[in-house]
Amino acid sequence: MKKPKTTKFKESVGIDIGTHSVKVVHLKRLHEGFKLLNYEIRPTVPVGVEYIPSDLRPDRFAPVIVEILKTLHINPKKIQHLVTSVGGDNTSIKQIKTIFLPDEELESALFFEAKKHIPISGTDMILDYQVINVEEKTNNMNILLAATSKELLNEHTNTLVTAGLNPNIVDIDSLAVANSFALNAFVEEGIYVLLNLGAHRTNMVIWGPEAKFFARDIPYGGYHFTRDIMRKRQLEYDAAENYKMEWGLLDDPSAAEAKTITMLDISEKSTEDAIVEEIRRSLRFYVKEAGNSDFRKVYIMGGSSKLKGLKEYIQEKVSIPTDVFMPFINVEMPEKFMDKKDPQLALAIGLAMRPE
């Protein structure tokens, strides 16, 4: 959210510091669009160690970033355009409407306005905003407010500095998700539901060229799918994680009947059900708030969008065509990456493509 520098960059690096995996994308700017120079996805937890969201301390991320940069031969001090992001409970983003205010009054007025809309205490809040438009008829302004807490931003900056980086632009996860989509999709109208399915949460964003912006986090992700499999199929963490990678929501036909669902499990809601319920609830809220229900498509991305059967499940339950989002339309892929288009990179690509 820091104001960007004005120099034009030739190369950019986007770093998505997820709790399960760090994703780094290195792009070269072309006359039009970008070219992928390299990327890397690396888990924050060693293989074989159970990923437990509440165990993850912030000092775990810097060493992973250092390793990745080494592998990609990127000198952290020489990055021209570094974009990272923060997310979670201490970030918030909301589109609001106010009466027209001149520039000099806008900032202080928005600060008070933000306190009403954003659940971060005033003294701890860092606020940024963007005027989307001024309505011709009413002269009202539509504004996108973005806020983080000072504490979260400090922790994030610390991670970057420890990894040898010079912090530059810090975005908010859900904005980067929207950016990734807006810069890599051909859409002229309608509303799109974007779901970045991570390990312990899912960023849900509602975006459209003319639509009201909406973002919230759904507190479920890959970790919860693994827990479901451990419980349902009576497997240890590692075996459940392997099962998840191979079968996702599908049944392994060779798995013994006795080890699959038992009567007891039926009373507990599955993660996919919980996610779908949250999506439906948010869509209802959005339709009421924005008065628009022109939903064209759901796009899923993030590591857990690769879960087999999930796309079909969401499509069936939400009744909107659903697809996995491949964020590479405006990113030229060298031959060696052609078969490696990975939706887990969506957010990092949105970061690396962010304009100055």
Ligand X SMILES: Nc1ncnc2c1ncn2[C@@H]1O[C@H](COP(=O)(O)OP(=O)(O)OP(=O)(O)O)[C@@H](O)[C@H]1O
> Please, which residue, 198 or 343, has the CB nearer to Mg ion?
198
Number of residues that bind ligand X (CB under 6 A): 20
Which of 156, 200, 212, 233 is the binder for ligand X (CB under 6 A)?
A: 200
Which of 206, 228, 249, 302 is the binder for ligand X (CB under 6 A)?
A: 302
Number of residues that bind Mg ion (CB under 5 A): 2
- The strand ranges marked E within 166-252 are 169-172, 191-197, 202-207, 214-218
Task: Kindly state whether residue 18 participates in binding ligand X, applying the rule CB under 6 A.
Answer: yes
Q: Is residue 191 within 8 Å of residue 208, measured between CB atoms?
A: yes
Which of 222, 298, 327, 345 is the binder for ligand X (CB under 6 A)?
A: 222
Residue whose structure tokens are 């302004």: 141
> Please, which residue, 174 or 184, has the CB nearer to Mg ion?
174
Q: Among residues 64, 85, 66, which one has the least CA distance to residue 76?
A: 66
Task: Kindly state whether residue 21 participates in binding ligand X, applying the rule CB under 6 A.
Answer: yes
**Which x/- pattern over 174-213 shows residues binding Mg ion (rule: CB under 5 A)?**
------------------------x---------------
Structure tokens at 346: 């969506």
Task: Kindly state whether residue 303 participates in binding Mg ion, applying the rule CB under 5 A.
Answer: no
Distance of CA 218 to the CA centre of its chain: 11
Q: What's the rounded Cα separation, in Å, for the pair 242 and 238?
A: 6
Q: What's the rounded Cα separation, in Å, for the pair 119 and 128?
A: 15
Which of 208, 303, 327, 350 is the binder for ligand X (CB under 6 A)?
A: 303
Task: Kindly state whether residue 91 participates in binding ligand X, applying the rule CB under 6 A.
Answer: no
Q: Is residue 25 within 8 Å of residue 83, measured between CB atoms?
A: no
Q: Is residue 328 within 8 Å of residue 33, measured between CB atoms?
A: no
* Footprint of ligand X (CB under 6 A): 18-21, 198-201, 221-223, 244-245, 248, 302-304, 306-307, 344
